[in-house]
Structure 1
Amino acid sequence: MPLTDTQIRKAKPTDRLYRLTDGGGLFPAVTPAGGKIWRLRYEIEGKEKTLVLGPYPDISLQEAREARVAQKRLLREGRNPAEEKKRGLRAVNIAANVTFEHLAREWHGINKGHWTPPHASDVLRSLERDVFPLLGARDVRTITVPEVLAVLRDIEARPAIETAKRVRQRMSAVFVHAIASGLADNDPAAIVERALKPLVKGRQPAITNLDLAREIIQRVDDTPAHPANKLAMRLLALTALRPGALITTPWGEFEDLDRDNPIWRVPAARMKMRKALKDDSSRDHFVPLSRQAMDAIRCLRTVTGRGPYVVPNGRSAHRPASENALGYLLNRAGYHHRHVPHGWRAAFSSVMNERFPADRHIIDLMLAHAPKDRVEGAYNRAEHMTRRAELAQEWADLLMDGQRPAAELVNGPRRASPLKMLASA
């Protein structure tokens, strides 16, 4: 039976492309992404061919049927509809819907719900900045391999080799989306992958020797800076948390501070993980707090305790600090390109795995590393808290041996800064 608009409109996507038949070789193909593309099967010179007419509902059911009649007329005249299409004699003009920018935004809209908001924003911004100005208005079917490579070479020249590779992956995903939608035949971004400059990707600069790590603490303490930043650096070193999680910490995340086993419970929403897991409270990260970490927290409270954030922004107490503030502090202490805030995680991992190799799984839990296999995946983020607390205290005792008390940092040497102490507000 012939199709109806209701049938086409209500057709749901599945894992595979499938077709709804209207008769006479005409059918809308329903893509896994949810698109509906009109296609026409026909036979010429004994071979079956398929002609893409365009997307539904941009091309209505009635228009698709009219296109079927027109293409059948061409066949009766001995003309190949596909060849006529290549020469621009199409029954329906869908040029506005096959530009790279149109399809890129369509692809982004389909996928952004599976990404975190910052990542979704980064993906679109990279295309708007680096690709759309040059190729955005182009018909996706006419973009060539050399043109794609030229876009990526411009990014490499900044230099931003890693960014070029990410943009290539995103461009390739757009071309694949176009192919799946029946609007393109090839992916020129896939072809250029091996033509790009190699990325020599090393670890972030980190000092992992225990004695040198102690020296970092000493030199940071001696560097003129706001006490909130010094205490935050100390807390970061003691907990081996990711810097991005530390700087957005509200005071309410610390639990049982007046008891024997104080805990810092970081919600899954603020941890580095897939968006689909961020609403799962069972994936909250539990950080046992050593005596030295508690000292740093108590001192921070005297400095910033009247605001919502443990480490507030220098210009506004109601915004979290910039991660750059901690990086600049290490740079001024003499560790530019030698140790970054994230480097404390490598220091903790190296020292503790060397001293306690049997606790490798638990150390990974403390670092909130994603499990590498199903066995490790059985470890819950809240498990083994007794041993985790013992290891946290061992690390704190090792790192803070010979260091000055946290209270001395509150009145230590300062650097001119817009940061104002909230305690005096």
Structure 2
Amino acid sequence: MSLTDTRIRNLKYPGRPAKFADGNGLYLYLSSSGKKFWRMAYYFERKEKVLSFGEYPVITLEKARELRLEAKRLLADGIDPGAQKKAAKEEQLSEAKDTFQNIALEWHDTRTADFTEKHRGTVLYRMEKYIFPVIGKEHIARMEAPDILAVVKPIELKGQNETARRLLQIISQVYRYAVITGRAKRNPATDLHGALRPRKVTHRAAVTESKKVAQLLRDIDVYDGYFSITCALRLAPLVFTRPTELRAAEWSEFDLEAQEWRIPAERMKMKQMHIVPLSKQAVKILKELQPFSGSGKYLFPSIRTETRPIADATMLNALRRMGYAKHEMCTHGFRSVASTLLNELGYNRDWIERQLAHGERNDVRAAYNYAEYLPERRRMMQEWADYLDKLKAS
């Protein structure tokens, strides 16, 4: 006997859960709580199964019969309606879970752990400001190259070419992570190769002619400034590390007896330990600096507090006070000076690149290359310091 709405409304709990059939496998299940649920019994591949349709009266009798008919059609096509419903539910959950924003934040948490806090913050800021408002809510597996282009092209058209290039790089890294973790089948960002204008290479300002370098060295020697800053400026051409690596140098990293500075991996751009052989001239400067800051953590403590090193702009401002304009010299320029003149002097390019701590493409090799060419580099660094002394005296 088929069910009616009147009969369903008047059903009373008989003291135990009960089933009330409507026909063709559909029945109403009356639970011990008094709630009524639509279910359908069916066979698939000789196995008895049960399909749930929802609770009465949210799912009406008429709607329950429609759902039964749909399930019967699937069975006639050889499809398990229970499996079909489960797949649809998983897809619905995926729609909400596998958005670009969710996966990008997951990538940021897990894959940028080795970045500096400053760089991690920059990446997150770029995603929140430029990427998420455009594609954050999109399902990551359903986007194509034009969707990504809609993020970066407007930024490029505003003249922010480098920002657009960085955004495309971030999106591509998120997609690589999604492919690895099974949330996307391919990386559509790779289809945008050539879509943005080529990057303009801008060389950092540096005086590289030997006569101008000689004058720079003399200017540094007579510079009348805060003692730690003058020492940092005198050391810069002798060690030619990145400005951040030099300004935040710690006494614990130095072995003056061995004439060696070992910069730990966490302070290096490429996250690999770096050895800087120290010339006699560099050791002399460090020994002069020891009575000033040797009892503290940093070689070059801030004027305001010993708990922090000098700021990024401190050495740059000193160069400006010496009369070197923005287009003439910057703190990063000491690396260009060393690279240019050492190559002109005929030193092995591999020694120079290793001493500059430029990135190693082979990750396995990079883990061990901090000591590569070390004897040759020791000799080169001492000869370089001697050469600078001769330049300065010329």
What TM-score, normalized by structure 1, do the two folds share? 0.62
Whole-Å separation in 2 of the counterparts to 1:180 and 1:71:
37
Alignment match of 1:273 (pick from 255, 270, 273):
270
Paired position in structure 2 for 1:289:
279
Displacement after TM superposition at 1:199 (Å)? 0.7
Higher relative contact order (CA 8 A, sep 6+): 1
Amino acid at match of 2:106: E
Q: 1:304 aligns with which of 276, 281, 293?
A: 293
Who is 1:262 aligned against?
A: 259
Q: Determine helix, strand or coil for the equivalent of 2:96.
A: helix
What whole-Å deviation, never above 9, does each CA across 1:211-245 have from its counterpart, x for those lacking one?
Answer: 21122223345556433222201101111222221
Contact 1:288 1:388 in 2 (8 A): no
1:87-98 to 2 correspondences below 5 Å? 90-92=88-90, 93-94=92-93, 95-98=95-98
Deviation at 1:80, TM superposition (A): 10
> Is the 2:254–2:261 Cα contact (8 Å) retained in structure 1?
yes
Deviation at 1:173, TM superposition (A): 3.3
Instruction: Write the distance in 1 (CA, Å) between the matches of 2:350 and 2:144.
Output: 49
Secondary structure at the residue paired with 1:265? strand
Superimposed CA distance per residue, residues 250-271 of structure 1 (whole angstroms, 9 cap, x where no aligned partner): 12222134xxx53223233433
Task: Give CA deviations for 1:273-312 in whole Å, capped at 9, x if unaligned.
Answer: 24xxx4xxxx541422332x23322333344344320012
CA 1:183–1:162 in structure 2 vs 1: closer, same or farther (change >3 Å)? Answer: same
Gaps in structure 2 of 5+ consecutive residues: 1-67
Instruction: Please name the residue that 1:349 is paired with.
Output: 339
Q: Return closer, same or farther for 1:241/1:146 CA change in 2, 3 Å cut-off.
A: same
Distance 1:295 1:336 in 2: 30
Structure 1 residue 102: Cα displacement: 0.9
Deviation (angstroms), 1:186: 6.2
Q: Aligned partners of 1:76 and 1:318: how far apart in 2?
A: 73
Cα 1:339–1:380 change in 2 (3 A) is: same
Is the 8 Å Cα contact of residues 101 and 137 (structure 2) preserved in structure 1?
Answer: yes
Q: CA deviation at 1:171?
A: 1.2
CA distance in 1, matches of 2:112, 2:259: 38
- Residue aligning to 2:209: 209
Q: 1:237 to 1:159 in 2, by over 3 A?
A: farther
Distance apart, 1:365 and its partner CA: 3.7
Residue 313 (structure 2) aligns with? 324
Deviates more, 1:107-116 or 1:301-310: 107-116
Q: Are 1:334 and 2:328 matched, yes or no?
A: no
1:363 corresponds in structure 2 to: 352
CA shift in 2, pair 1:346/1:71, >3 Å: farther
Residue identity in the other structure for 1:318: T
What RMSD over aligned residues (CA atoms) do the two structures have, in Å?
3.9
Change (3 A) 1:72 1:200: farther
Residue in 2 that maps onto 1:57: none
Asked if 2 retains the 8 angstrom alpha-carbon contact of 1:168 and 1:193, the reply is: no
Does the 8 A contact of 2:211 with 2:391 survive in 1? Answer: no
Q: State how far apart, in whole Å, the 2-side matches of 1:110 and 1:308 are.
A: 31
Q: Aligned pairs, how many?
A: 317
* Residues in 2 aligned to 1:105 and 1:372: alpha-carbon distance in whole angstroms: 27
> Secondary structure of 1:196's match?
coil
- What displacement does 1:168 show? 0.8
User: How far did 1:100 drift?
Assistant: 1.8
SS of structure 2 residue aligned to 1:328: helix
1:72 shift after superposition: 7.3
Q: What CA deviation, in whole Å up to 9, does each residue of 1:61-107 have, x standing for no partner?
A: xxxxxxxx9997664466999xxx9xxx9445223213221121123
Letter in 1 for 2:219: R
* One-letter identity of the residue aligned with 2:328: R
Structure 1 gaps, min length 5: 1-68, 405-425
Q: Contact between 1:141 and 1:185, CA under 8 Å: does it hold in 2?
A: yes
State the one-letter code of the partner of 2:259.
Answer: P
Q: Who wins on radius of gyration, i.e. which is larger? A: 2
Alpha carbons of 1:350 and 1:377: their partners in 2 closer, same or farther (altered >3 Å)?
same
TM-score with structure 2 setting the length: 0.66
Shift of 1:352: 2.1
Decide whether the 8 Å contact of 2:265 with 2:274 is kept in 1.
Answer: yes
- 1:176, distance to aligned residue in structure 2 (A): 4.7
User: Given that residues 251 and 310 in structure 1 are in contact (C-alpha distance below 8 angstroms), is that contact kept between their aligned partners in structure 2?
Assistant: yes
Distance 1:71 1:181 in 2: 35
Tell me the secondary structure at the aligned position of residue 400 of structure 1. helix
Letter in 2 for 1:298: K
Query: Residue 156 of structure 1: SS of its match in structure 2?
Result: helix
Partners of 1:363 and 1:296 lie apart in 2 by 23
In 2, Cα distance between equivalents of 1:187 and 1:79: 35
Relative to structure 1, the CA distance from residue 306 to residue 124 in structure 2 (aligned partners, 3 Å threshold; closer, same or farther) is same
CA distance in 1, matches of 2:70, 2:290: 76
Q: Select 2:389's aligned residue among 400, 407, 412.
A: 400
